Amino acid sequence: MKKTFEQLIDEAKSVSLSVAEKETLKRNIFEQIQSSSKPLKISETFNFLIFTRTHLAASALVLLFVLVGATSAFAERALPGGLLYPLKTGVNEEVRGWFAFSGQAEAEFEIDLAHRRLEEIEKMTDSSSLTDEKKNKAEEQFVLHTEKAERSILSGSSEGEKEGKGDDSASLTAAEQESPARSEFSLKVSQEAAQSDVVSKESAEELLKDVKSKIELLGKILKSKKQVPGESRIEARLFLLKAERMFVDGKVKFSEKDYGSAAVELTKALQAIENILQSPDLNLRTIFEMKLKAESDSSDEKNPSDDFTQIKSGDSFVDVKLRSDGTIDDDQSGSDTEASGEVRGANSQVEFEGDEPKQEDRRNDRGEDGDEDKNRIEIRGEVQIGI
Amino acid sequence: MTREQDMRKEFETAYENYADALFRHCFFRVSSRETALDLVQESFLKTWDYMQKGEKIINLKSFLYRVVNNSIIDFYRKRKSESLDALAEDGFDPPVRHNEDIMSQTEYNRAISFFEKLSEQYRSVMIMRFIDGMAIPEIAEILNETENNVSVRIHRGLEKIRKLMEI
């Protein structure tokens, strides 16, 4: 059978096209290909030049948008005297202003612009490209925007946009007055600073860093509407702007190696910051100092054997010790704690060695049995952990 | 060389290499020389259209066989009224031998008639396996079947041929 099957296959394989048949078939196929040949699709052999020629208007529009967008983006980095600076101030900033619909939004917009002018002075100082002319021009604009912001705040108040605006301004005015202890301190520094040979470059530099970090921190807090809601926030931003102005002046003096004058300006800036923090309506001191401490702690080296987290709340001090077996040994010292609050998610932020706390061993500061939620540690005082 | 020229060259080479085998395959599937020629022509044109669209073909041989297989299925569907058995009963259009082989016409016709007597599901795999010389994985890929199914059908096809040859 096998031999017969093999023969069968051999016979079958002998079936084939004749030479003539093969040529005829080939001719037919290629004739049909020629007659029905279509131009290749653009997607297959994309020719940019052909595409733009056939879609001239659209290509021109796209190119225009790209150029305008790129130019506008570059203009953002422009400084006074630069080629694109008029585009930055006359177009980019102008357009942003269109979207400020309320008095509050306008005030914030003007504050942002004033801040940008100060940033420009700072950048020019850093790059040693600051001239008197450029500085004066930027300062003029700074004053202009600051005044506009003040007018927007006032106009918003007269339209009844804000509630208790009168109270706010009264409180801020009060805050502007130096507290006796602070005024004595700043006076002392100012007097010392007046003698430039007393203030060294290193001291001035330290002061510069200190003021800069505080201004940045306070700026972040004030920008967050959650932290400080309401109109008080915008007014505080305006006051902070003034502190920033003093900081920039101090920086300019520093760059001119006039360390004494720099220290005077920087101290004024510190005072302005202090005034904002003292405002009872803003209630910023707690948050500010917590964040400041957190920032400085994050740069400190931690002792790996420490298994407790120190949480400071203003002048109060709460030690929460997390043992590796999960029990909590809290030690409250300090009497200025306020209403009870909670620290959430502490375990997710605190690193400790050992097992996770056992359910039955957890206790809160009131000595009650542990909560179902093992991530909650209750302590007195409103705190935020940023570890 | 442009892309079009590359494509044409590739297509021409494929024709030279596979036209014969494809014709043979079609012939044993449809038992008609004329129909086989038409099917081969149609399959090559379909393949060219596919290449023209810019689609990438990894294995041109497998692709051609797949197109041929589909074309044969379409051919059968058009002739739905006639059963495969009726086709077998009506006879076939034996090819005229063009080679120098000393095999007789009778033996030649006999070979063809055995394949014709198989049902389509066995015929296709038997032709691909023994006449086209394809491996089982290749057949499975073309027919979109599992290798196991293909093996079973080949086995059963052989059994059928054995029985036919014993008659």
pLDDT tens-digit profile of B9-59? 999 999 999 999 999 999 999 888 899 999 999 999 999 999 988 888 889
Mutate to test the interface with A, among B12, B13, B45 (most CBs of A within 10 A): B45
User: Could you give the CA distance from residue B146 to residue A310 in angstroms, rounded to a whole number?
Assistant: 68
Q: Residue A353: its pLDDT value, please?
A: 41
Residue written as tokens 């957190």? A294
Domain count of the fold of chain A: 3
Helix axes A103-126, A132-158, angle to 10 degrees: 160
- The predicted pLDDT at position B80 comes to 64
Choose among B20, B44, B53: nearest Cβ to A16: B20
Q: For the residues A8-36, what does the mean pLDDT come to?
A: 89
Q: Are residues A283 and A349 in the same domain?
A: no
Q: What is the mean pLDDT of residues A168-192?
A: 46
Q: Do A242 and A141 fall into the same domain?
A: no
Give the DSSP letter string of A167-234.
HHHHHHHHHHSPPHHHHHHHHHHHHHHHSTTTS-HHHHHHHHHHHHHHHHHHHHHHH-TTTS-SHHHH
Q: Is residue A26 part of a domain?
A: no
The answer to whether residue A338 is domain-embedded is yes
Report the SS3 class of residue A385. coil
pLDDT tens-place string over residues A236-288? 888 898 899 999 999 999 998 999 999 999 999 999 998 888 887 777 888 88
Looking at the structure, do residues A127 and A240 belong to the same domain, yes or no? no
**Whether pLDDT at A113 is above 60:** yes
A232 CB neighbour count, 10 Å cutoff: 23
| Of A34 and B26, more confident | B26
Residues of B contacting chain A (CB within 8 angstroms): 2-4, 15, 19-20, 23-24, 27-28, 37, 40-41, 44-45, 48, 52-54, 95, 97-99, 101, 103, 107-108, 110-112, 114-115, 127, 130-131, 158, 161-162, 165-166
Q: Which residue of B has its CA nearest to A8?
A: B111
Q: Which fold has domain B3-166?
A: Arc Repressor Mutant, subunit A (1.10.10)
Least confident piece of the model among A143-152, A221-230, B70-79? A221-230
The answer to whether residues A110 and A147 belong to one domain is yes
The chain-wide mean pLDDT, for chain A, equals 69
Residue A9 belongs to some domain of the structure: no
Q: Tell which wins on pLDDT, A304 or B8.
A: B8
Q: What does residue B147 show for φ and ψ, rounded to 5 degrees?
A: -60, -35
3-state secondary structure of A43: coil
Q: How far apart are CA A256 and CA A135, in angstroms?
A: 14
Containing structural domain, residue A239: 172-299
pTM, two decimal places: 0.39
Look at residue B90 in the predicted model and tell me its pLDDT.
Answer: 53
Q: What are phi and psi of A338, to 5 degrees?
A: -105, -145
Say how far apart CA B134 and CA B128 lie, in whole Å: 6
Q: Is A338 in a helix, a strand, or coil?
A: coil
A317 belongs to a structural domain? yes
Mean pLDDT value of segment A340-366 = 42
A222, A288 contact by CB (below 8 A): no
Say if A20 falls within a structural domain.
Answer: no
Chain A residues with CB within 8 Å of chain B CB:
1, 4-5, 7-18, 21-22, 25-26, 28-29, 32-33, 38, 40-41, 43-45
Residue A25 inside a domain? The answer is no
Q: Which residue of A has its CA nearest to B116?
A: A12
Residues in chain A closer than 8 A to B107 (CB atoms): 7, 11
Between A34 and A338, the more confident residue is A34
Quick check: B130 and A43 CB within 8 A?
no
Nearest to A14 among B41, B103, B165 (CB): B103
pLDDT of A147 reads 85
Task: Say yes or no for a CB contact (<8 Å) between B107 and A40.
Answer: no
Q: Helices marked H in chain A — which ranges?
A: 2-13, 19-35, 48-54, 56-75, 85-87, 93-97, 103-126, 132-158, 165-176, 180-194, 201-223, 231-255, 259-278, 285-299, 346-349
pLDDT of A63-84, one tens digit each? 887 787 777 777 777 888 787 7
Cα A248 to Cα A244: distance, rounded to the nearest angstrom? 6
